[in-house]
Each structure stands twice: as C-alpha cells, then as structure tokens.
Amino acid sequence: MTPSAPPSNVIALLGRAFFRHQWKMAVCFVCCLTAVAAGTLLSSRAYRSQAKLLVRLGVENATLDATTVPGSSPVVALPPTRENELNSYLEILTNRELLEKVVDKLGIPVVRGKQAPPLSPSDSYPAPDPEGDTADSVTARADAIQYMMKKLDVEVVKRSNILVISYQAPRADAAQAVVATLLDTYLR
C-alpha cells in the first residue's frame, strides 16, 4: 500500500474544511451575533456633552513689571509658561468647591442623570432643605459630588490654548446642563 499524497492545492484543502464544518461555523456566528445584540440592548446608554474653552492671554500677563525703568539694566524675569497657566485653569475647573456649587444649583437627581433639568433658570431648581442638613442629605450630596468627579473630564489640548470639558450622564439633557452650569459657575 502506498500512502496517499497530501493535496497540493491549499484552496481545495480549505474548501473541504469549510464544507465539513460549515454548521459549526454558522452556529458560532449566530451565537456571537446574538450575544452582541443582547449586550447592546441591555446595556445602559451614556451621553457625553462636551465644551471647549479658549483661554486667551490676559492683559495682566502682557505688561512690563512696574519696577522697570527705561535705560536701566535689563532684568530678566521668566514669565510662567502657558502650560502652567492652562494647568491652573484645569485645577480650578475640577476643584471640589466649584463642583459643590454645580450640585447645589442643579440638584442631585440632575447631576446623576435621573431627572431632566429645568427648562429655564426661572423654573424650580431644587430648594434648600428647610430643616437643615440631615445625615442622609449630606451623604447623598457628597456621593453626587464624587459621582460628578468621576464623570467629569477636563483636559488641555496639546499645543493650544483650549480646554476640553466633557461630562458623561445617562441623559443627554442632564449632561448638557452639568457642563453649561459648570462653565457659568466658573465664569462668575
């Protein structure tokens, strides 16, 4: 007996393997497609609102030192770098005190994305608790601030004077309200 020679045609070999295992491949494909579809339908939606803030060189940084006199020996003072200034703005925007003001203005349900924000500022924002701060309300407020810190992203665009502020929430209108309120509070 002579051993059978292996087929020299690779395409014929692959074609034979495909037809031999076509049902297994079809079942695997349908199972993967079903798992992806189920995961997509069952996962919660997340919306991201984004704003860009242009930081311009201020007048206070563009003037000469008041102690310099024309004709005197030059004093070299190194101005702070633009990167330092942008990082300072970044730290201010992610400051806990600023985020507390946003949570107090919008309310905990809006920050967490469980409730739509009011349509206009004259609409009812959450009123302060008349009985004072209870332990539950203080804990809920602190949790909302921590949640906002996790979902807020402020970054500096490389080689530019732009800060990108983005916030992720389960509702699109809540994400937009948080970013808008953060910018308004910062600018004040």
Across all residues in the chain, what is the average pLDDT? 77
Listed range (17-26, 39-48, 126-135, 163-172) with the worst mean pLDDT: 126-135
162, β-bridge pairs: 54
H or E element that contains 92: helix 82-93
Q: Can you give the pLDDT at residue 34?
A: 94
Q: Can you give the pLDDT at residue 130?
A: 44
pLDDT tens-digit map of 5-64: 555 678 888 888 888 888 888 899 999 999 999 998 888 777 888 888 888 765 555 555
Q: Can you give the pLDDT at residue 28?
A: 93
Q: Are 118 and 174 in contact (CB under 8 A)?
A: no
Q: Are 114 and 170 in contact (CB under 8 A)?
A: yes
Q: Give mean pLDDT, residues 139-161.
A: 85
- Tokens representing residue 111 in the block: 């920050």
Interacting residues of 180 by C-beta distance below 8 A, sequence separation 6+: 51
The closest of 32, 35, 165, 34 to 98, measured between CA atoms, is 165
Find where tokens 């704003």 sit.
51
Report CA dihedral (89, 180, 116, 106) to the nearest 10 degrees. 60
Report residue 76's pLDDT band, with 50, 70 and 90 as the boundaries: low
Q: Give mean pLDDT, residues 107-111.
A: 83
User: Number of helices and strands (H, E) in the chain?
Assistant: 7, 3
Report residue 75's pLDDT band, with 50, 70 and 90 as the boundaries: low
Report helix, strand or coil for 52. strand
Q: Give mean pLDDT, residues 103-123.
A: 75
Q: Can you give the pLDDT at residue 52?
A: 86
* pLDDT for residue 96 is more than 80: yes
Report helix, strand or coil for 156. strand
* pLDDT for residue 70 is more than 80: no
Find where tokens 């970054």 sit.
155
pTM here? 0.62
* pLDDT for residue 116 is more than 80: no
CA distance 161 to 156: 8
